[in-house]
Amino acid sequence: MSFSDIFKSSFLENVTAVSLPDMAISLVLAFCLGMFIYLVYKKTYSGVMFSRTFGGSLVAMTMITDMVILAVTSNVVLSLGMVGALSIVRFRTAIKEPMDIAFLFWAIAGGIVLAAGMIPLAIVGSVIIGLIMIAFCNRKTIEKPFIVVVTCTDGEAEKRVAGYLSEQVKKAVVKSKTAQKGNIELTYEVNLKSDDTAFVTKLYEMDGISSAVMVSYNGDYMG
């Protein structure tokens, strides 16, 4: 192969398959869409600890998907090879929050739609999805439940705990009970009458109570 034959290679023909203005516009829109998804994710996050790295990955995921689909749509032969190459990729990171999966699919779908040239669909669809996410995922419950874990020394102390909690909170339901010699551990789900949690301190000061712990609870985690 001569030096001139190298420049006649079909590889160089793919350089102009996607114009620079198209690439710039598509990637800028993908970045803006990714930032919008990130802001909605940050606004609606209700987990234990917010992860900025995952939020940043949503922006990167939108742009990467956009770049891949631009390459696929510009060359049919390349699309077949890329499908085979991407099929060997395996992700091992565990998704801790169920809603994180929805945001990942949102970022991927946004990148695909943008690269396909359906810009109005990507913008309008993302705005609608964002409003739905904010309306439903960021909604505060009227009565926030709490978990109270009390350690007693005997049955009399257990009765005092039940009577005291029934007076101090709206509802107290026993969720679990562990009994050992000289030690009874009770787990209550309670709904508070107000934001005052001083009753937990008074509960600990009662005779026969060795410890009293209260944590918030939303059905998915404690913290």
Note whether residue 67 is domain-resident.
Answer: yes
Q: Which residues contact 66 (CB under 8 A, 6 or more apart)?
A: 26, 27, 29, 30, 111, 112, 114, 115
Note whether residue 2 is domain-resident.
Answer: no
Is residue 221 predicted with pLDDT exceeding 50?
no
- For residue 30, what pLDDT is reported? 92
Name the helix (H) or strand (E) containing 78.
helix 76-86
Is residue 79 predicted with pLDDT exceeding 70?
no
The CATH number assigned to the domain holding 167 equals 3.30.70.260
Domain boundary among 91, 121, 137: 137
My answer on whether 133 and 193 are in the same domain is: no
My answer on whether 123 and 26 are in the same domain is: yes
Note whether residue 176 is domain-resident.
Answer: yes
What is the length of the chain?
A: 223
Note whether residue 201 is domain-resident.
Answer: yes
- The answer to whether the beta carbons of residues 170 and 188 sit under 8 Å apart is no
Given pLDDT bands bounded at 50, 70 and 90, which one contains residue 131? very high
Q: How far apart are CA 133 and CA 205, in angstroms?
A: 44
My answer on whether 19 and 121 are in the same domain is: yes
Note whether residue 3 is domain-resident.
Answer: no
Is residue 222 predicted with pLDDT exceeding 50?
no
Note whether residue 119 is domain-resident.
Answer: yes
Identify the burial level of 103 via C-beta atoms within 10 angstroms of its C-beta, where 0-12 means exposed, 13-18 middle and 19 or more buried: buried
My answer on whether 158 and 116 are in the same domain is: no
Domain boundary among 78, 106, 137: 137
Residues of the chain above pLDDT 70, percent: 73
- Rounded mean pLDDT, 76-81: 59
Domain boundary among 137, 171, 186: 137
My answer on whether 200 and 119 are in the same domain is: no
- For residue 38, what pLDDT is reported? 92
Q: Considering the chain, what is the average pLDDT of its residues?
A: 78
In one-letter notation, the amino acid at residue 24 is A
Q: What angle do CA 172, 178, 181 make, to 5 degrees?
A: 130
Q: Which residue range is the domain that position 153 belongs to?
A: 145-216
| Range in 12-21, 26-35, 175-184, 212-221 with the lowest mean pLDDT | 12-21
- The answer to whether the beta carbons of residues 22 and 71 sit under 8 Å apart is no
> At 61, is the secondary structure helix, strand, or coil?
helix
Identify the burial level of 161 via C-beta atoms within 10 angstroms of its C-beta, where 0-12 means exposed, 13-18 middle and 19 or more buried: buried
My answer on whether 114 and 187 are in the same domain is: no
Is residue 15 predicted with pLDDT exceeding 60?
no
My answer on whether 98 and 126 are in the same domain is: yes
In one-letter notation, the amino acid at residue 213 is V
My answer on whether 115 and 183 are in the same domain is: no
My answer on whether 119 and 149 are in the same domain is: no
Is residue 137 predicted with pLDDT exceeding 50?
yes
Note whether residue 221 is domain-resident.
Answer: no
Q: How far apart are CA 168 and CA 200, in angstroms?
A: 10
In one-letter notation, the amino acid at residue 10 is S
My answer on whether 119 and 189 are in the same domain is: no
Is residue 1 predicted with pLDDT exceeding 90?
no
In total, how many domains does the chain have?
2
